[in-house]
A and B are shown apart, each in its own frame.
Chain A
């Protein structure tokens, strides 16, 4: 199991060092610094073995997090754990930075003592940890409270404590999709997929049992006539008051390639009945992740035209077309057009938005605040090059960022039912909100 956890700043100074196992000596701390952080050549793998000791590491801004082990341990688990640790620290004190880590080192040690025991990861749910690791000094904890804490840490429902009360029971669902695209110069889709997340913010009293329904093909096929449908959910989208456009199309069910759930979801029930039921943690959490590859409506299309005129000049023309309902509006549109490193001057002309050549990024950045559906815009650039550069330009792809108020996969929330048997509130007393956001993941067109 994990033998130790170290945190370094960018200079390689140790900020946190917690050793769990006897086989990890103090020299391990230095070995990593010398062989990875200070190494002349950047290490090319996230796991390195130095003198029969394995170092798993990841970097956040300029902070190195490193887990050490001498045994053949579960590597996936170590990286998952490091990720979890970052989440926990972020939720306690915000950004991972040298300053923040130094300011909270006592807290970090306390957390590390709790979430790893002899190198075995223990309950690492932020909500639960926050209930008893507070750094508030001596907090008078009653006996009852303590038992609550321990049962929450170890319990079957380790992610929620008992006795939560809200005056108004409310929940928010955000369906956030990132669309990934790789398109060839000729406009052929090389690969595309949507990575979606359903993030839920729940402010519900007691231990509510929730049932969540989506328009997944299998689920929809399974129950053709279901009494529960989307009518009892406020389809109030908070952005631009729009609804998911897929409601109007004939396509009602989508094919989900794969989905993964927060640990609160009863997986065996999903496997057998295809129903998503769970007792949610309090506050915000990621209920589900999913991936689709079929019938994705690509919100934008980029058409590049690059012409090299002699050795010192290039002409670039980029057309962007929006491909969704005209009533909807895409936002935060940004198109990055890479330029060769020997660019010396760029003349830009664009119909809409603002375009700038950023020499530090070797790219033209074209920004548009918003763009309606079924519109088209164009940018043309003349690029002058210095002739001396021998190296061939490898034409990185043109990438794009945007945000649109619908789910490009066609994903739809059909219902979310809340049942709480002990307390006196029913599903209809709960206020529910749903919002769909489509974002760009890696949205690239080869030029």
Chain B
């Protein structure tokens, strides 16, 4: 007869039979009855009424039976606390049993009985067991402290169990150490406010020693704990890394992943260019790859973690593309993850292979997988420019298979490809349009509509196509509706004559017949815009869009950093911070250590506190950013806060849209933002984000917002900006536009270089009798690509006889057109009265950048490389009779760097370099004869056009005070 009989269904009256059997004298019958009880318990039947009878069986000195009784007890003690006390005596007796197995069993079970009265009686035996001679008992007792803490924290403190537990960290038996570590970690995680577990150097040392000897699980506990230790400095971090790297060869994947976690965390503290880091990278790759030949479930955990590692440090696995190729019978979750990692590792070297693979995948059967493969092809096109055409052709092939979901997915990615490579692949629009009718998913429909609207001028029947969509407007998904509205407005702006009717129809529809406020408001704004100023509408709606970034689906960097601290754990599998899926308890947010701050961090309490404050601030910032992005994702368009912030974001990274004048009010620009959102703008947002932490690191004080938007604040308002650092020579302001020419507006200005930025400083004076407003400024294309970093913003009207100072920061990466003279700049300024055009000269020394220093050897090399006939000689006059040191300083302030200084034939030789904003280097040799005011000046550059300007600059600087 086998034990499976116990699982058979219960008959009526069986409980009474069991009761009788439990009280039987015969051991065999008792045992049979107990097994039946446990089996019933397992399948969920209530056998709690047998409690007293089971307790009676406890006295038996049969270990196997005893364990069954204990199992029963653990399950039902809570429901019968009064009866459970009956067991206390037996426990107490067992804790003194000569057999260590029985002692351990008793203390183990007692800890699992969550009845207060029993817990009280647990203390004494537990104390004894923590000091038991047998390691098996001690290791069980160590865990029992954690159990007790879960039931009654105060008791653990009062009884001093924490200290006893800490003593076990120095136990001779590694398994005891491991369990003690596990228990202490758990306790300190539950109560982060109390310094339960002081992880310091000596403790970590002990743990590292135990690491070599304890069981695989013990190694996991220890490594997970070490991951929480903040190393003192880079040397400390490095030495721990060295001691744990051998664990990468362990057969247990949990040991490997926990080792990887510690390494990834501590790597933050070590100079990334050091040989050590490079070596470690080499050592990390093979074990990670090996994890892919484990059980699929572990592979999945490993792949989710590799996904994080690749995002954080892509170098580690850059040569391992092939191992992520999908196998035919991989489980779907492994396939999807591998695909994700493949895309992240794609580059121009392996694109051919990857593309061939993706093509295979796109013909598989699993719909999700195929979709992801198609999307991946599009991502490759965006990421690897040389392969874009091949990718597009592949997508076209796939579209021609007419498999519905493949077509839809392809259209969604093609929209992104259009965003990345505007005006390149429009020839395929015809093929896309053929599939218009088969699109039934909102994202695909919205993408197609976007394409039609964006390229309306090239699609002859764009109006018919859009009109077709409009018929079922009310049944469309919100995303599609918004997109359709925008597309029709775009169409109207491009072909106003034929589409007037259509645009009226859609505007009426969205403003009068829809309940969706986003849609309605957007409709109103378009309407108003179109009716007041069609020209402005054109500039807003058809504005050039910023390019989309190469990388997609990246995790937000602060989240990524947090997840790196959780490698191997559930958080790393879900790619979510623990507080999103763990209940109740306060969870400490884990952070990667950072290299710069490390020297101060543990010096004294005050610095520690300030550090903590800073860290808290960071958390706030990151969560802010996170939620903004979330809003953006979910609500997208009109959520006011998110869209205005978006604007700010856009401005910070603005490079393309200098064309947008000051016409935009907030709402309008939010439309712009939205517009680009649908076009796949989501990613650049993430990118701006990536740059934020750097800001955060460099600026350590001030409130969060200042930190985040510091540079923006600097140039948003026209007033009250002060620059403190010593600056380059600034010429006095001269009048650029006279009041006469400017119809009452007088503009005087100059250029300066402040904080390594080019600043155009102007005074606007109103000499007319009426106030002026609606200022806007535009620079014509010029030799050095100067464009305003931000549009001119003058918030208040300029009243008669008022003067306001304006500072406008320029950057030098705009479109270039050669001017004559080179430094000529054409400016247009508009106000409510008129538009004024004028010229001014940008002094060339404003364009000297601060990092123009090169080393001697390069100087020599470059000097020799430039042909003799490019050399220009001149006699400079040292009017102020400056000493050589003063002269050097004066030049240095203006970013003219002295590379070296020597004396040849009693003449002082200075060798200097200048680098212009556009990267041109100019090399200069000054020969100074003591006592003689004439300096022999000689200059070499690959672009001799600038030579005269440089000479002027020298004269200007030397003659200045």
Query: Measuring CB to CB, which residues of chain A are less than 8 angstroms from any residue of chain B?
Result: 1, 13-17, 19-23, 26, 29, 44-47, 49, 52, 54, 56, 58, 69-77, 79-83, 99, 102-106, 109-110, 113, 117-118, 120-125, 132, 135, 137-138, 141, 143, 146-147, 149-151, 153-156, 158, 182, 190-191, 193, 195, 257-263, 266-268, 270-271, 286, 289, 291, 392, 394-397, 399, 442, 444, 446
In the complex, chain A residues whose CB is within 8 Å of the CB of B221: 120
Cβ-neighbour of B322 out of A102, A151, A190, A396 (below 8 A): A190
In the complex, chain B residues whose CB is within 8 Å of the CB of A259: 249
Interchain CB contact under 8 A, A156 and B252: no
Chain A residue nearest to B220 (CB atoms) is: A77
Closest CB in chain A relative to B262 CB, distance in Å: 13
Q: Is B927 an interface residue (CB 8 A)?
A: no
* A–B complex contacts, Cβ < 8 Å, 27 sampled: A52-B583, A54-B570, A58-B295, A70-B582, A71-B578, A72-B569, A72-B581, A73-B569, A76-B256, A79-B254, A102-B7, A105-B3, A106-B64, A117-B108, A120-B217, A122-B139, A138-B64, A143-B98, A150-B101, A154-B139, A190-B353, A259-B249, A266-B212, A268-B212, A270-B249, A291-B290, A392-B403
Cβ-neighbour of B325 out of A19, A23, A190, A394 (below 8 A): A190
Interchain CB contact under 8 A, A76 and B245: no
Cβ-neighbour of A137 out of B62, B114, B186, B365 (below 8 A): B62
Interchain CB contact under 8 A, B364 and A394: yes
Interface secondary structure of B, over-half rule: helix
4 closest residue pairs by CB, A with B: A258-B286, A102-B4, A150-B136, A77-B254
Cβ-neighbour of A150 out of B135, B333, B578 (below 8 A): B135
Interchain CB contact under 8 A, B175 and A150: no
Q: Is B311 an interface residue (CB 8 A)?
A: no
Chain B residue nearest to A444 (CB atoms) is: B328
Interchain CB contact under 8 A, A135 and B322: no
In the complex, chain A residues whose CB is within 8 Å of the CB of B140: 117
Check A106/B68 contact, CB under 8 A, given A46-B300, A120-B182: yes
Query: Measuring CB to CB, which residues of chain B are less than 8 angstroms from any residue of chain A?
Result: 2-4, 6-7, 35, 38-39, 42-44, 62-64, 67-68, 70-71, 75, 98-101, 104-105, 108, 111-112, 114, 134-137, 139-140, 143-144, 146-147, 150, 173-176, 179, 182, 186, 212-217, 220-221, 224, 245-247, 249-254, 256-258, 286-287, 289-290, 293, 295-298, 300-302, 322-323, 325, 327-329, 331-333, 353, 357, 360, 363-365, 368, 401, 403, 566, 568-574, 578, 581-583, 587
Chain A residue nearest to B4 (CB atoms) is: A102
Q: How far is the CA of A383 from the CA of B135 in the complex (A)?
A: 69
In the complex, chain A residues whose CB is within 8 Å of the CB of B101: 132, 146, 149-150
In the complex, chain A residues whose CB is within 8 Å of the CB of B297: 46, 56, 58, 79, 82
Q: How far is the CA of A155 from the CA of B135 in the complex (A)?
A: 8
In the complex, chain A residues whose CB is within 8 Å of the CB of B173: 154-156
Interchain CB contact under 8 A, B250 and A156: no
Interface hub of B43, B217, B286, B298 (most chain A Cβ within 10 A): B217
In the complex, chain B residues whose CB is within 8 Å of the CB of A442: 327-329
Cβ-neighbour of A26 out of B44, B111, B363 (below 8 A): B44
Q: How far is the CA of A122 from the CA of B135 in the complex (A)?
A: 13
Q: How far is the CA of A1 from the CA of B150 in the complex (A)?
A: 13
In the complex, chain A residues whose CB is within 8 Å of the CB of B175: 122-123, 153-155, 158
Closest CB in chain A relative to B300 CB, distance in Å: 5
In the complex, chain B residues whose CB is within 8 Å of the CB of A82: 297
Interchain CB contact under 8 A, B67 and A75: no
Chain B residue nearest to A391 (CB atoms) is: B365
Closest CB in chain A relative to B905 CB, distance in Å: 59
Interchain CB contact under 8 A, B100 and A80: no
Check A99/B220 contact, CB under 8 A, given A76-B301, A154-B176, A261-B251: no
Interchain CB contact under 8 A, B215 and A191: no
Q: Other than the known A106-B38, A442-B327, what 13 A-B pairs have Cβ atoms closer than 8 Å? A: A14-B42, A72-B578, A72-B581, A76-B258, A80-B254, A102-B7, A103-B2, A105-B39, A113-B70, A123-B217, A132-B101, A156-B213, A195-B293
Interchain CB contact under 8 A, B569 and A397: no
Cβ-neighbour of A397 out of B3, B286, B323, B328 (below 8 A): B328
Closest CB in chain A relative to B419 CB, distance in Å: 31
In the complex, chain A residues whose CB is within 8 Å of the CB of B71: 109, 113
In the complex, chain B residues whose CB is within 8 Å of the CB of A76: 253-254, 256-258, 298, 301-302, 568
Interchain CB contact under 8 A, A138 and B62: yes
Q: How far is the CA of A5 from the CA of B293 in the complex (A)?
A: 26
Interchain CB contact under 8 A, A191 and B322: yes
Interchain CB contact under 8 A, B286 and A261: no
Check A16/B42 contact, CB under 8 A, given A74-B254, A150-B136: yes
Q: How far is the CA of A386 from the CA of B220 in the complex (A)?
A: 57
Interchain CB contact under 8 A, A153 and B570: no
In the complex, chain A residues whose CB is within 8 Å of the CB of B3: 102-106
The tally of CB-CB contacts under 8 A between chains A and B is 275
Closest CB in chain B relative to A49 CB, distance in Å: 5
Q: How far is the CA of A197 from the CA of B731 in the complex (A)?
A: 78
In the complex, chain A residues whose CB is within 8 Å of the CB of B7: 15, 102
Check A260/B249 contact, CB under 8 A, given A22-B150, A446-B360: yes
In the complex, chain A residues whose CB is within 8 Å of the CB of B38: 105-106, 109
In the complex, chain B residues whose CB is within 8 Å of the CB of A396: 328
Closest CB in chain A relative to B258 CB, distance in Å: 7
Q: How far is the CA of A75 from the CA of B253 in the complex (A)?
A: 10
Cβ-neighbour of B4 out of A13, A58, A103, A289 (below 8 A): A103
In the complex, chain B residues whose CB is within 8 Å of the CB of A444: 327-328
Interchain CB contact under 8 A, B2 and A121: no
Interchain CB contact under 8 A, A120 and B179: yes
Chain A residue nearest to B224 (CB atoms) is: A74
Interchain CB contact under 8 A, B301 and A151: no
Interchain CB contact under 8 A, A80 and B253: yes
In the complex, chain A residues whose CB is within 8 Å of the CB of B220: 74, 77
Interchain CB contact under 8 A, A117 and B581: no
Closest CB in chain B relative to A219 CB, distance in Å: 13
In the complex, chain A residues whose CB is within 8 Å of the CB of B179: 117, 120, 122
Q: How far is the CA of A104 from the CA of B644 in the complex (A)?
A: 66
Chain B residue nearest to A157 (CB atoms) is: B213
Q: How far is the CA of A82 from the CA of B295 in the complex (A)?
A: 11
Chain B residue nearest to A13 (CB atoms) is: B43
Q: How far is the CA of A156 from the CA of B215 in the complex (A)?
A: 8
Check A260/B108 contact, CB under 8 A, given A76-B257, A150-B134: no
Q: How far is the CA of A120 from the CA of B146 in the complex (A)?
A: 11
In the complex, chain A residues whose CB is within 8 Å of the CB of B353: 190
In the complex, chain B residues whose CB is within 8 Å of the CB of A147: 100, 134
In the complex, chain B residues whose CB is within 8 Å of the CB of A79: 253-254, 295, 297-298, 301
Closest CB in chain A relative to B674 CB, distance in Å: 33
Check A121/B569 contact, CB under 8 A, given A79-B297, A150-B101: no
Chain A residue nearest to B178 (CB atoms) is: A120
Closest CB in chain A relative to B448 CB, distance in Å: 24
In the complex, chain B residues whose CB is within 8 Å of the CB of A22: 114, 150
In the complex, chain B residues whose CB is within 8 Å of the CB of A21: 150
Chain B residue nearest to A43 (CB atoms) is: B333
Closest CB in chain A relative to B304 CB, distance in Å: 8
Q: How far is the CA of A182 from the CA of B322 in the complex (A)?
A: 11
Cβ-neighbour of A271 out of B114, B146, B246, B368 (below 8 A): B246
Check A75/B246 contact, CB under 8 A, given A123-B175, A397-B328: no
Check A1/B114 contact, CB under 8 A, given A13-B43, A137-B62: no
In the complex, chain B residues whose CB is within 8 Å of the CB of A153: 136, 175
Interchain CB contact under 8 A, B42 and A17: yes
Closest CB in chain B relative to A56 CB, distance in Å: 7
Interchain CB contact under 8 A, A267 and B247: yes
Chain A residue nearest to B147 (CB atoms) is: A118
Cβ-neighbour of A113 out of B67, B325, B566 (below 8 A): B67
Q: How far is the CA of A54 from the CA of B301 in the complex (A)?
A: 14
Q: How far is the CA of A153 from the CA of B101 in the complex (A)?
A: 11
Cβ-neighbour of B143 out of A16, A23, A117, A257 (below 8 A): A117
Q: How far is the CA of A143 from the CA of B101 in the complex (A)?
A: 11
Chain A residue nearest to B108 (CB atoms) is: A117
